[in-house]
Amino acid sequence: MSAEARTTEGAIKVEGVGRTYVDAYGHEVEALRGIDLFVNPGEFVSLIGASGCGKTTLLRLISGLDKPQAGKLFLDGTEIAGPSHERGLVFQQANLFPWETIEDNIAAGLKARRVYKEKKKEVQRYIDMTGLKGFERTYPHQVSGGMAQRASLARALINDPKVLLLDEPLGALDAFTRMDLQDRLLELWGERGTTMILVTHDVDEAVYLSDRIVIMTPRPGKIEEIIPLSSPRPRSRGDPEFLELRTLILEKLHFVSRPKGPEYFL
Amino acid sequence: MSEKTEGRGLARAVPSERYWKPRSKAWVAAEGLSLAALLTVNLLMPTVQEVEDLPYRIAVSLGLAFLAGAIVVSIFNEKARSRLYHHAQFVFALALVLIAWDLVTEKSDLLPLPFFPSAAQILQVIVEDYEKLLISTAYSLRLLVVGFAIGTVSGLATGIFLGWYRQWGYWVFPTVKIMSVIPATAWIPVAMIVFPSSFGAEVFLIVLSVWSPVAYMTATGIAGIPKAHIEAALTLGADERFLLFKVAVPGAMPSIFIGIYTATGLSFATLVVSEMIGAKAGLGWYINWAKSWSNYAKVYASIVIMAILFSLVMDLIFKLRDRALVWQKGLIK
Ligand SMILES: Nc1ncnc2c1ncn2[C@@H]1O[C@H](COP(=O)(O)OP(=O)(O)OP(=O)(O)O)[C@@H](O)[C@H]1O
Ligand SMILES: [Mg+2]
């Protein structure tokens, strides 16, 4: 499918969504309260915020794996009723099937949708793209955490969803591989116009990739501010504008003003 | 013997090495000498019982010839050499035990006949009565294969169904649980009434002994699939068929195999007991028949054949498991 064909599809609307969990001690935890968010078709949005502010919860609600207690969620105007391959999810933990090889894990979506025969060739493409060549026949417990995460990313990408929900997909990777995969992700996004919703703790990553950055705060989890980024991609990481934005967002997250808060603890 | 005995809980000093005994020529020499002594004792010492020693002597000689062959091969082949060294102590001890057995039975009459025959006499019975034993083995094997196949397939079907559909599991699983603690042989009186033929009754008992552990472990395995795997499949577009057969069942395989080899052991016990009651052939029947003649050598002969047959079946099950669960290799342990 071409980018044009796609950019009219994949709009996400989140309307007054709230979600409260009851933890193991019977205490109520308000993971999300009053979330309103509209993501345009083909838009790249990052969610950023402290641990426990409900980022994973929001992605799970959009994916349909979880249901809100208040409010509604829509994909292209249709209410989200349950999980579907139209909304792919890359889990925070790689969550591969331990009984399948890396290759079969990546092909799982094609098999689940019964299009494996026609799209068999795709598998190798995504194996190459995520740098997993040579590990096709190994099992998940035999590869490193970063490789498992890349396989998990490939497994979601190969399914060509309308909306891709990414829960810190590059979290376990070294800086070099991470930047490489960010570029691959941008390439794919440009090619297909998939709507991307990315959770990240890495401000640089958010600034490098996003159309908009959504800053969230915890207890209860809500949206604090949405920052639009207008400069065209590919962006240069050393650019003064880039650095300025980065500082701005760190300030919003109340970290720059603190004496010694290491930013990767966000 | 089998390729992968590691999983069976054999204690090992060095986990990574299969052949870890001392690489000593002295032990190989002791092995050869002890086998030779075994043959010599049997040949030269006067026998006080009425026994045909020839098959036994041939068997021991074959053992010696096999050892000689292994020594020759080990000169050229490193793996054969490791194996030779590793087993030397064991065969040495085995030969000593056989010598002792020979001495307390046919060489001295120390242990009373007919209850404790010599090894030579057991072998003699196997050779002389091979026709009846062969037929008995075939009968037992047929019973085992038919009962095991029906039991495993129905157990899998029951387990998958009860593990997957909560509502059904809630109502029916307790039955499986109860059935799995009742030895199948307790149903013998019922089986004999319900089934017109003794073969039908025997198959039924084996099916029962296999069905309940397989159903039990399959159901718990399927119900215990981590939710995360199901969720991952759902976001990839899985339908129920895919969830069940490509996620739940493969994920439950380790548990299913625990059920299958529990069932294997139980099926052996059930087989022997059920053949002892109504059957007209089979290794269990043979034992009973021999006992009524007080021919204990024949009882032991049947036991020896069972040991070989059941070990082979067990090995086959373990091979299948190792193949089905390659993905677990190195994951647990
Ligand atoms: N299934 C659950 N049961 C109980 N509490 C939950 C559950 N899922 C999430 N929570 C709670 O909801 C809050 C938000 O969790 P969530 O996983 O969405 O945070 P997050 O922003 O993704 O955090 P992190 O950055 O650490 O991944 C947390 O306080 C968490 O303890
Ligand atoms: Mg999270």
pLDDT tens readout for residues B192-223: 999 988 899 999 999 999 999 999 999 999 99
Beta-carbon contacts of residue A67 (< 8 Å; ≥ 6 apart)? A61
Burial profile B295-309: b = 16 or more Cβ within 10 angstroms, e = fewer: bbbbbbbbebbbeeb
Q: Are residues B209 and B150 in the same domain?
A: yes
CA angle B244, B245, B248 (to 5 degrees): 55
The CA distance from A116 to B236, in Å, is 13
Is residue B123, in this structure, part of any structural domain at all?
A: no
pLDDT value of residue A232? 86
Q: What is the mean pLDDT of chain A?
A: 89
Q: Are residues B138 and B271 in the same domain?
A: yes
Residue of the CA atom closest to atom 12 of ligand 1: A31
B314 versus A146: which is more confidently predicted? B314
Residue window 28-57, chain A: list those with CB within 8 Å of chain B.
Answer: none
3-state SS class at A149: helix
Contact B246, B232 (CB under 8 A): no
**Beta-strand (E) ranges in chain B?**
none
Main-chain dihedrals φ then ψ at residue B107, nearest 5 degrees: -90, -10
**What is the gyration radius of the CA atoms in chain B, in angstroms?**
25
Nearest Cα neighbor of B76 from B64, B84, B87 is: B84
Contact B196, B217 (CB under 8 A): no
The CA distance from B136 to B140, in Å, is 6
- On the question of pLDDT at B3 being above 50, the answer is no
Residue of the CA atom closest to atom 30 of ligand 1: A52
**Which residues in chain A touch residue B330, judged by CB atoms under 8 angstroms apart?**
141-142
Tokens standing for residue A164: 């891709």
Q: How many domains does chain B have?
A: 2
3-state SS class at B273: helix
Query: Across the strands, what pairs with A94?
Result: none
Burial profile B147-173: b = 16 or more Cβ within 10 angstroms, e = fewer: bbebbbebbbebbbbbbbeeeebeebb
3-state SS class at A117: helix
The CA distance from A1 to B190, in Å, is 66
Contact B236, A88 (CB under 8 A): yes
Q: Residues B225-235: what's their mean pLDDT? A: 96
Q: Fill in the DSSP letter of residue A40.
A: -
What confidence category does residue A255 fall into, taking pLDDT thresholds of 50, 70 and 90? Answer: low
- On the question of pLDDT at A258 being above 60, the answer is no
Q: Select from A20, A29, A95 the residue to mutate for testing ligand 1; criterion: most ligand atoms less than 8 Å from CB.
A: A29
Contact B270, B205 (CB under 8 A): yes
Tokens standing for residue A76: 């292209």
Which amino acid is residue A143, in one-letter code?
Answer: V
Contact B305, B268 (CB under 8 A): no
Q: Are residues B152 and B69 in the same domain?
A: no
Q: Parallel, antiparallel, or unpaired: how do β-strands A212-217 and A44-49 relate?
A: parallel
Beta-carbon contacts of residue A163 (< 8 Å; ≥ 6 apart)? A10, A12, A39, A62, A75, A86, A87, A88, A194, A195, A196, A197
Q: How many angstroms separate the alpha carbon of residue A127 from the centre of ligand 1? A: 31
- The CB density around residue B44, as the number of other CB atoms within 10 Å, is 7
Half-sphere exposure of B184 (CA within 13 A, CB side): 28
- On the question of pLDDT at B9 being above 60, the answer is no
Q: Are residues B17 and B77 in the same domain?
A: yes
Q: What is the mean pLDDT of chain B?
A: 92
Q: Are residues B168 and B312 in the same domain?
A: yes
**Which residues in chain A touch residue B232, judged by CB atoms under 8 angstroms apart?**
89, 91, 95-97
Is residue B333, in this structure, part of any structural domain at all?
A: no
The CA distance from A30 to A50, in Å, is 15
pLDDT value of residue B279? 76
- Percent with pLDDT over 70 in chain B: 94
What confidence category does residue A253 fall into, taking pLDDT thresholds of 50, 70 and 90? Answer: confident
**Beta-strand (E) ranges in B140-196?**
none
The CA distance from B179 to B262, in Å, is 14
A259 versus A134: which is more confidently predicted? A134
Least confident of A110-119, A168-177, B142-151: A168-177
Best residue in A99, A158, A164, A165 to probe B by mutation, most B CBs within 10 Å? A99
Nearest Cα neighbor of A174 from A198, A150, A199, A140 is: A150
Query: Across the strands, what pairs with A197?
Result: A45, A165
Is residue B122, in this structure, part of any structural domain at all?
A: no
- The CB density around residue B192, as the number of other CB atoms within 10 Å, is 18
Is residue B124, in this structure, part of any structural domain at all?
A: no
Of A65, A96, A142, the CB nearest to B235: A65
Sheet containing A222-228: which strands, arranged edge to edge?
A: A87-90, A163-167, A195-199, A44-49, A212-217, A222-228
In DSSP notation, B208-244 reads HHHHHHHHHHHHHHHHTS-HHHHHHHHHTT--HHHII
Q: How many angstroms separate the alpha carbon of residue A49 from the centre of ligand 1? A: 12
Instruction: Quick: pLDDT tens for A25-62.
Output: 989 999 999 999 999 999 999 999 988 899 999 999 99
| Boundaries of domain holding B22 | 3-117
Contact A216, A32 (CB under 8 A): no
For tokens 């050779």, the residue is B127
Instruction: Quick: pLDDT tens for B89-109.
Output: 999 999 999 999 999 999 999
pLDDT value of residue A118? 92
Q: Parallel, antiparallel, or unpaired: how do β-strands A12-22 and A28-39 relate?
A: antiparallel
Q: Using omega within 30 degrees of 0 as the cis cutoff, is the peptide bond preceding B15 cis?
A: no
CA B266 to chain centre: 11
Sheet containing A12-22: which strands, arranged edge to edge?
A: A28-39, A12-22, A70-75, A78-79
Fold adopted by A1-86+164-169+195-254? Rossmann fold (3.40.50)
- On the question of pLDDT at A6 being above 80, the answer is no
Q: Are residues B167 and B232 in the same domain?
A: yes
Contact B38, B60 (CB under 8 A): yes
Nearest Cα neighbor of A18 from A200, A223, A201 is: A223
For chain A, the domains span 1-86+164-169+195-254, 88-160
Q: How many angstroms separate the alpha carbon of residue A114 from the centre of ligand 1? A: 34
Q: Are residues B37 and B174 in the same domain?
A: no
CA B199 to chain centre: 22
pLDDT value of residue A177? 87
Query: Across the strands, what pairs with A164?
Result: A88, A196
The CB of A250 under 6 Å from ligand 1? The reply is no
- On the question of pLDDT at B278 being above 90, the answer is no
**Beta-strand (E) ranges in A12-125?**
12-22, 28-39, 44-49, 70-75, 78-79, 87-90
Is residue B258, in this structure, part of any structural domain at all?
A: yes
Indicate which CATH number applies to the domain containing B185: 1.10.3720.10
Q: Residues A198-216: what's their mean pLDDT? A: 94
Q: Residues A63-79: what's their mean pLDDT? A: 94
Tokens standing for residue A211: 């159309």
Q: Are residues B267 and B158 in the same domain?
A: yes
**Which residues in chain B touch residue A95, judged by CB atoms under 8 angstroms apart?**
228-229, 231-232
pLDDT value of residue B331? 65
